[in-house]
Amino acid sequence: CVPIAQAWQIELIDETTLSWEIVLEVYEEALLEIKQANLMLSNKYKKWAVTGLNQGEFCDEYTRDYDILPFRFWYGPGDTLEAGADSLPRIIFRNTSGEKALKAVVENTDYLYEARLLQYQKADNLKMRPGRYPYFKGLIKVEPKS
């Protein structure tokens, strides 16, 4: 059993926007290599963007061996990630925590899910002592088709 839990607070801000806050609750000292906050989206999403930095198209290939790097389209800075599709609402995932060590990630999942991931992650290999630690704070906006 892992001596860690997450407490999520999700709040509806308006008709199209959710606030999402994650706090880690550590019960016994534990080593954490990577912490992530993920949105998994349908493979019908074809375009991605890191606002102000880069954009591209998702390929329709998925790893079978968890060699994810050929299916990773972005890893780096970015406070706002977007995914778009012709027939689905645009998704905007924003890091509002002010935590600059969180990296933005855009990638495909493996072949079992065949999905898109918009993610914020922090790799720090820290031993965490018991306590509560804010991890992620962000917004998820679903923009309906006009």
**Residue 121, both tokens:** 């992650």
- In this prediction, residue 65 carries a pLDDT of 77
What are the respective helix, strand and coil percentages of the chain, to the nearest 5? 0, 60, 35
Helix (H, G, I), strand (E, B) or coil at 85: coil
pTM of the model: 0.92
- In this prediction, residue 146 carries a pLDDT of 67
- In this prediction, residue 67 carries a pLDDT of 67
Residue 5 CA: distances (Å) to CA of 9, 26, 37, 94: 13, 7, 14, 23
- In this prediction, residue 66 carries a pLDDT of 67
109-144: pLDDT as tens digits: 988 999 999 999 998 888 999 999 998 999 999 998
29-75: pLDDT as tens digits: 999 889 999 999 999 999 999 999 999 999 999 888 766 667 899 99
- In this prediction, residue 58 carries a pLDDT of 96
8 A C-beta contact, residue 101 and residue 124:
yes
